[in-house]
Structure 1
Amino acid sequence: MTPSPTPSSQADSQPDVPPAPSTPAPSVPAPAALPGPAFVATRPAKQPGAFRRGFGLGAGAGLGAGSVLLVLAVVGSLISALVFGATAAAVGQSAGPRVSTLQTVWGSDIADRANTVLAIPVEGVIMADGGDGFSLTQSSYGYELARTIDALTANDAAGLLLLMNTPGGTINGSRAIADAVERYQSRTGKKVVAYVQGMSASGGMYAMAGADKIVADHGTLVGSIGVIFGPFERYKNVVATSGGLVTSGVTTTGGITQEYLTQGTGKDFGNPYRDMTARERKVFSQGIANEYQAFVAWVSKHRNIPAATITDQLGAFIFDPQTAVANGLIDAQLGPDEAFRDTVTLMGLDPSTARIAKRAAPTALEQLLGASARVYGYQAVAPYGAKASAVICAGAPQPLLWHGPVTSYCG
């Protein structure tokens, strides 16, 4: 008895049909036919287990998610490349002399470059560059500020505003700023204004003398046109020296004296020490006399004050704003808002739509990509507990355009 096949295992049976004769062919014996319908024995398909189902589903989902993530990664890389390129350009600007991000000092935040006056702060000690070390407070690098000014075109800003608050510093750093201001005026035809907030003495006076207009805030100090060189120390009647950790290292019966060489009446006011040979005085005094004459000539030319008036009457004294106006060192005494309105008006701008802006520090992202944490032209924050290493604080004496003690800057 032949069992009935299930639908899933039944095969279609076809009767044996001999091929139609066409051409003579060799006779091949046909296989013996089985009695009854054809039957093919099969097993039902085995269903996958739970593990295989889960594995298959998980692998599929993983491949799908991986494909999506791959696409997103490629797109993200393209976007990152664009962002990186744009940011790297900004980093290059913020780390160098060109102007990138600006921070509004006064006026409208939405003003375009044609209505923006670029503020260049000159704060603290004026040094030549970063190789001069650092002081314990704000310092400005004259060479870097000069490069910043030299990089500006007539289209970068409506003019320059020097924000002055400095007791002076090195001769080369101060003169570098002064020369850059003069080149900017000649190159762009734009005006430069200097605004004193606190003090602009000695090297500060040198740096800002060529501005088209100089304005001072109330209570400021301006002047000190002179050169100082020193101090030179002398140990009188030395009886012993020691390299111990407790003693000072030198024992004298005549004490220790310090002496400065100066040009400009009253330049070393307050110094309690004196002594130097006649020959040393002559050699060093001639050197600083040359620097002094150049300083006097610069101020005389740009402020239209006779050189004899500077050397004989003004000397190296420092003056309040009212006296400075009377002596021709500055043009006006104004508070900040009045001074800024006066500045933009002088440059042909409408105060209601103009702004004054300064360069901003690099952002955290720019610093992450390699930008220096400091604004180009200014000293970074001194490390905690570090000793001041600026040229005015340590090393051999040099001629300086400086007013007052260096204690607050050198510790």
Structure 2
Amino acid sequence: MNTKRWIASAIATVIVIIAIPIQIVTAVLTAEGSEWLSFDQMYNKEVMKNGSNGEIVVLELDGVIEDTGSNNGFFSVGYHHRQFLEMLEDAMEDPLVDGIVITVNTPGGSVVASNAIYEQVVRSKEEFDTPVYVSMGEMAASGGYYIAAGADYIMAHPATLTGSIGTVMSAGLNFADLAEEWGISETSVSSGEYKQMGSPFQTLSEEEEVLLQEISDDMYEDFTAVVAEGRGFSDEEIDTLAQGQLFTGNQALENGLVDELGDLRDAVSHMELMLDLDATVTHYTSGSTVGSMWNVVAPMASKDPVSTILDESRATRMLYLHQ
């Protein structure tokens, strides 16, 4: 056995040694810990300003837009998709809430997750007659702008980076050359010519690249249609603005991508003016409980490192994300 094979065998042995205790922890936690770690994660309501009439809710969208399947919790920070949708839905369905302001600070993320928020923004306006404003932070790009395009009013800081209208197809990692060099191969049987497209052990063919490009183009057309409808752009205007480029807040205002320059306070004041309110402003924020620990520990312990790496390498995803 040559040196490279000895090294590969040693690495595999180390990974197995690490994986065994993780699997044991998983079994223990699953069998004995699920009962006492079963609390639901809640969110908090904090009053930012007391008013004499009406209420405006402020929601915070901060981080990459992804649905990770749970409200990742006790030790995590950032964006929690399902909880954000829950807070948005609660706010729009509350008859005492007159308007919603979403602060957006994100480079974008998943196409599906971005669309889910966009649909709720539109639903808030059309079904509940509750206006939605977007106040942009440091970045509101790609999926962040997709969501903003559905709002009644968009306010950005002069230095905000926004735009990046377009799609990215992530076809996963590719180990084909490395695997060949180290004598590593995958044994599998598939039912169709393109069933293993995106395998980390195979280089994409020209035909596969064409298929993926067609998928990307389809999602791109959806993105541009949403922006054109939300901002009133012509086909020519959207073609010029939707080349994946970033804009500062100043540039976005000049190009009609946002309505005004300002911060969250300005966005709230504008909404109060439009609704003729002196509103109480309530901030819905993520909360955490002891039960949130289970949302962190269980996913980490449920897979061995090899499976995790392979899963990530095989992930073909469509993204509204500025990279």
Could you tell me how far apart the structure 2 residues matched to 1:349 and 1:132 are? 34
Tell me: higher relative CO, structure 1 or 2? Use CA pairs within 8 A at least 6 residues apart: 2
What letter is aligned with 2:181? A
* Cα pair 1:154 1:188 within 8 Å, conserved: no
2:315 to 396, 401, 408: 396
Is the 1:344–1:354 Cα contact (8 Å) retained in structure 2?
no
The Cα shift of 1:157 comes to 1.2
Question: Paired residue for 1:184, among 121, 124, 131?
Answer: 124
Structure 1 counterpart SS, 2:100: strand
The 1-side partners of 2:178 and 2:89 are apart by 54
More helix by share: 2
**Matching residue's letter, 2:271:** T
Which runs of 5 or more structure 2 residues have no equivalent in the other structure?
A: 1-38, 186-197
Q: 1:190 aligns to what SS in structure 2?
A: coil
Letter in 1 for 2:317: Q
Q: Give 2:229's match in structure 1, choosing from 267, 277, 301.
A: 301
Determine which of 45, 50, 63 is the counterpart of 1:102. Answer: 45
Alignment size in residue pairs: 262
The 5 A counterparts of 1:354-393 are: 354-359=280-285, 361=287, 367=289, 372=292
Structure 2 contact 162–246 (Cα < 8 Å) conserved? yes
Partner Cα distance (1:343, 1:373) in 2 = 38
**Aligned partner of residue 210 in structure 1, secondary structure:** coil
- Unaligned regions of 5+ residues in structure 1, if any? 1-90, 244-248, 250-260, 262-274, 405-411
The aligned residue for residue 284 of structure 1 is 212
Deviation at 1:234, TM superposition (A): 6.0
1:314-367 per-position Cα deviation (integer Å, ceiling 9, x unaligned): 4111100111111111111113433332233233212xx5324224525xxxx4
Q: State how far apart, in whole Å, the 1-side matches of 2:272 and 2:239 are.
A: 34
- CA offsets 1:272-316 (integer angstroms, 9 cap, x no match): xxx954212211111111111111101110111123322244411
User: Counterpart in 2 of 1:124?
Assistant: 63
CA distance in 1, matches of 2:298, 2:231: 36
> CA 1:154–1:239 in 2, change beyond 3 Å: closer, same or farther?
closer
Q: Take 1:205 and 1:239, find their aligned partners in 2: how far apart are those partners?
A: 42
**Residue 243 (structure 2) aligns with:** 315
The question of 1:343 aligning with 2:283 is answered no
Matched residue, 1:158: 98
In 2: Cα distance, 1:235 partner to 1:177 partner: 37
- In structure 2, give the amino acid aligned to 1:355: V
Distance 1:278 1:123 in 2: 38
CA change 1:308–1:277 in 2 (3 A) is farther
- Tell whether the 8 Å contact from 1:221 to 1:320 is kept in structure 2 after alignment: yes
Larger radius of gyration: 1
The partner residue of 1:201 within 141, 148, 164 is: 141
Structure 1, residues 71-130: CA drift from partner, whole Å, max 9, x if none?
Answer: xxxxxxxxxxxxxxxxxxxx87x63xxxx74113x422xx47x52211121110111342
SS at match of 2:316: coil
Percent identical across equivalent pairs? 22
Q: Secondary structure at the match of 2:287?
A: coil
Secondary structure of the corresponding residue to residue 310 of structure 1: helix
Q: What's the Cα RMSD here?
A: 3.9
Residues 309 and 132 of structure 1: CA distance in aligned 2, closer, same or farther (over 3 Å):
farther
Structure 1 residue 182: Cα displacement:
0.9
Give me the whole-angstrom Cα distance separating, in 2, the residues matched to 1:319 and 1:177: 22
Rounded Cα–Cα distance in structure 2 between residues aligned with 1:354 and 1:236 = 60
Instruction: Decide whether the 8 Å contact of 1:128 with 1:173 is kept in 2.
Output: yes
Distance change in 2, residues 1:381/1:309 (3 Å): farther
Q: Distance in 2 between matches of 1:313 and 1:192?
A: 24
1:177-198 residue CA offsets vs partner (Å, 9 max, x unmatched): 0001111111221211000011
Q: How does 1:205-244 map to 2 (within 5 A)?
A: 205-231=145-171, 233=174, 235-236=176-177, 240-241=181-182
Q: Give me the TM-score of the superposition, normalised by structure 2.
A: 0.68
Please tell me whether the aligned partners of residues 63 and 105 of structure 2 are also in contact (alpha carbons under 8 angstroms). yes
The structure-2 alpha-carbon separation of the partners of 1:239 and 1:302, relative to structure 1 and needing over 3 Å to count, comes to: closer
